Structure 1
Amino acid sequence: MSGADDLILVLNCGSSSIKFALFERRQPVARRPLWNGKVDGITGPAPTFGETGVPPAPVVLDPAAPYTAALAHIGARIDQRRGTRAIGAIGHRIVHGGARYFEPVRLDAEVLADLRGYIPLAPLHQPFALEAVEQLLVQRPGVPQVACFDTAFHHTVPAVEQMLPLPRAFWERGVRRYGFHGLSYEYQSIALPERHGELARGRVIVAHLGSGASLCGMIGLESVATTMGFSALEGLMMGSRSGSIDPGALLYLMQTEKLSPEELGQLLYHDSGLRGVSGISSDPRELLKLEAEQETARDALALYVRRAVREIGSVMAALGGLDLLIFTAGIGEHNATIRARICEGLGFLGVALDPQANLDNAPVISSPASRITVGVEPTNEEWIAASRSDEVLRAPEWAGRKTATVC
């Protein structure tokens, strides 16, 4: 094993951004990273690099291979900052582990080959995370890498929630609902009982509202229902993703509008959601500034909130009630207006907010009169990946083991 002073690097790779965080490799791993940052807008005209204590600034990337250049920039900056301390492990957020990987797993060529098969199910994240793994296997061959899966937390969801109403043969071939944002929800399963005690072990809905968005219904801190399914398109309306949509509309677009599968994928993943309905932006902050004058901005925000309220009702039905509603991720943690509008739509349940607490993004934003406790809890996916990666590499039973639990 590497020394106690080694560092754990965590990478969270998307199609246009790479987040990174560096943690001390202690037992237990501290929840706050030593240093973190992000390369954003990788495929756009003006990429930026920001890090702890330094606001984002323009960065020059090779236009022929911008993703490779972004990884190289991060690697060089880390090597400048870490001094004599060694990177003892690299943890990756891998969005899709399919029906095979329910635990973190040490990455090698065999596992990589498995995970490439899930690229069509998570095209915004899976190929880019695997590209980072491949590059680091070459650049840092002596550093073990660990995959931590966003789908893994949802393996406790009952089979009836995983099923799709398709012929049984497709289930046998892995066509089922998987669920995503699992690292975020796993963190909530740790943080919520620390803050809310036994209430967190009851009927809980966590709303992960970011550029991607989903809900997770928990009982006993385990996932029992979630809104994302076979792919990261199902469920809530998102920044640029459609969320759930009538499959008949998709058939119409292919048959009548003659959209190819590639064009349909571009539409659903990149040109829909808030961006598509508004025709302006995928960012609700921008739309809130314009809604007084722009009807399309108003429509986009109204639909976003309506879909969230409807989906919360659906997950609540699966839980048999609701004790605690938690908002997390970028929009959930920081956008008091969106939270207020969603909770207003849940007023029939007796949900009532404390307006000042909501504006302050407080841990509890519901009023004492509210029948359901409502809170805000920042997520910490990077820490989950760091701590789980460390556990994998320290545990003796993982020595030489190539794959996680197979089911």
Structure 2
Amino acid sequence: MAILAVNAGSSSLKFSVHVRGPQGMRAGVLVGAFTGLQPDGQPVLSWSYEGQKHEEVLLVAARQSLWLAALARLQTLLNASLHLPPIAAVAHRVVHGGTRFTSSVRVTDKVMEALEELISLAPLHQPANLAGIRAFAQAFAGVPQVACFDTAFHAHMPELHQRFALPEALHQQGMRRYGFHGLSYQFIMGQLQQHSDRAQGRVLMAHLGNGASVCAAVQGRSVATSMGYSALDGLMMGTRSGTLDPGVVLELMAQGWSHDRIESLLYKQSGLLGVSGLSADMRALHASNTPQAQLAVDLFVHRLVRESGAMVACMQGLDVLAFSGGIGEHDAVIRAQAVQQLHWLGLRLDEQANTQARGDAVVAIHAPDSAVPVWVVPTDEGRVAAQEAADLLNLS
């Protein structure tokens, strides 16, 4: 029995095939991604199987949808001589579950209708997630489709950490803090608990990538997180602003900015890209010698440190710090700068261990005299989604 885990974006499709072993769901035996699926894009398929990496330009017939071409190629790949078990379910990462979906659920027409109503809460991600579910339900007819939610890990945060200072009627409408990156945090927590006895205490996890957030967890459960009602809140991100005074939005409205223009500004034109005027890619900013690129990097670290302080305050202390995500796993400079600015917590890095951590294994990067252990934990949201689907459907 195998589970196909997918993460459908607006221009990309990540996938992985997972098989359950004696110790639970294994890392993907087949892992890959289609990129360039946007209109007029040049689709490329990259995948790896048993340590062998492959890349190919996707062949698309005249007038064929890029998405349909990608799904057809994926089916061919799964049916090739890769010795894979049959696919028993497709597990989809869905960004927002709202107040109704606090755990993974098998997709039905009613579930899809309810998820459609949440599009305004995650306009960059939710439409693509739902389009992916529809496409796979058609391509893999009869195979159960399971929605796994990024909000679920935070669903039981204390009420004080969920509540906005808004009237009760608006709270009842669902205007509250939800939190995101839950599949990632669920995986990171599981890995930390296998590697550190202190992970049952007060843990600060930083998922840093194009989307970025921090999460405070106590005894394995989320108690606070930087993202809130939408995936805009909290840290500065690749193209997203992070926390912003609502007065700025009101002023833009007074200047005549439309909803769509403001949405585009906050989701697609801000963050690292907006401040640097150069790129949303941290690697490009490190390579640049422009003052604005350096400002973008410094501001990213500043926001990380500021939000981390808030999380530590919510937990009233810190027992473990973990970095994950594309930046968190691979950027030794950002990790070093953040830890240095959090030195008042007793954090100390082993510089060599930090430099050598490449995001390919769970690695401790703290110095022997550090009061708090610091880890790099490569995340695997697909494995969590696959495990959720297998458990939900009672598959073995």
TM band (smaller chain): over 0.9
Q: Deviations over 1:151-179 (max 9, x none)?
A: 01101210111011111101111111100
Aligned residues of 2:235 and 2:303 also touching (Cα < 8 A)? yes
Letter in 2 for 1:215: V
- 1:364 match: 364
Alignment of 1:328 onto 2:324: yes
Identity rate, percent? 42
Alignment of 1:22 onto 2:20: no
User: CA 1:58–1:280 in structure 2 vs 1: closer, same or farther (change >3 Å)?
Assistant: farther
> Mapping of 1:120-159 within 5 angstroms?
120-159=120-159
Decide which of 9, 17, 27 is 2:4's aligned counterpart. Answer: 9
Secondary structure at 1:146 match in 2: strand
Gaps of 5+ in 1: 1-5, 397-407
Q: Deviations over 1:120-163 (max 9, x none)?
A: 11122211111121122223221111111110110121011101
Aligned residues of 2:71 and 2:139 also touching (Cα < 8 A)? no
Q: Deviations over 1:88-147 (max 9, x none)?
A: 111111111110111111111111111111111112221111112112222322111111
Cα separation, 1, equivalents of 2:269 and 2:143? 39
Secondary structure at 2:239 match in 1: coil
- 1:283 match: 281
Aligned residues of 1:28 and 1:387 also touching (Cα < 8 A)? no
- 1:319 match: 315
Q: Deviations over 1:308-356 (max 9, x none)?
A: 0000001111010111110011110111011111111112222211110
Cα separation, 1, equivalents of 2:242 and 2:266? 8
Alignment of 1:74 onto 2:74: yes
Indicate the larger mover: 245-254 or 176-185: 245-254
Cα separation, 1, equivalents of 2:83 and 2:352? 45
Deviation of residue 278 (structure 1)?
Answer: 0.6
> Mapping of 1:348-387 within 5 angstroms?
348-361=344-357, 363-387=363-387
User: CA 1:122–1:60 in structure 2 vs 1: closer, same or farther (change >3 Å)?
Assistant: farther
Letter in 1 for 2:73: H
Q: Deviations over 1:160-201 (max 9, x none)?
A: 11011111101111111100011111112211111012x001
Letter in 1 for 2:16: A
Deviation of residue 359 (structure 1)?
Answer: 0.6
Q: TM-score, normalised by structure 2?
A: 0.93
Aligned residues of 1:23 and 1:29 also touching (Cα < 8 A)? no
Cα separation, 2, equivalents of 1:61 and 1:131? 19
Cα separation, 2, equivalents of 1:231 and 1:216? 15
Indicate the larger mover: 363-372 or 60-69: 60-69
Aligned residues of 1:206 and 1:328 also touching (Cα < 8 A)? yes
Deviation of residue 27 (structure 1)?
Answer: 5.9
Q: TM-score, normalised by structure 1?
A: 0.90
- 1:399 match: none
Runs of 4+ deviating beyond 6 Å: none
- 1:259 match: 257
- 2:268 match: 270
Gaps of 5+ in 2: none
Aligned residues of 1:151 and 1:181 also touching (Cα < 8 A)? yes
Aligned residue pairs total: 387
Secondary structure at 2:46 match in 1: strand
- 1:297 match: 293
Deviation of residue 369 (structure 1)?
Answer: 1.7
Q: Deviations over 1:182-238 (max 9, x none)?
A: 1111112211111012x0011110000111011110100100000001000000000
Secondary structure at 1:344 match in 2: helix
User: CA 1:54–1:188 in structure 2 vs 1: closer, same or farther (change >3 Å)?
Assistant: same
Indicate the larger mover: 60-69 or 319-328: 60-69
Aligned residues of 2:156 and 2:222 also touching (Cα < 8 A)? yes
User: CA 1:324–1:83 in structure 2 vs 1: closer, same or farther (change >3 Å)?
Assistant: closer
- 1:214 match: 213
Cα separation, 2, equivalents of 1:349 and 1:83? 50
Aligned residues of 2:328 and 2:376 also touching (Cα < 8 A)? yes
User: CA 1:56–1:304 in structure 2 vs 1: closer, same or farther (change >3 Å)?
Assistant: farther
Deviation of residue 55 (structure 1)?
Answer: 4.8
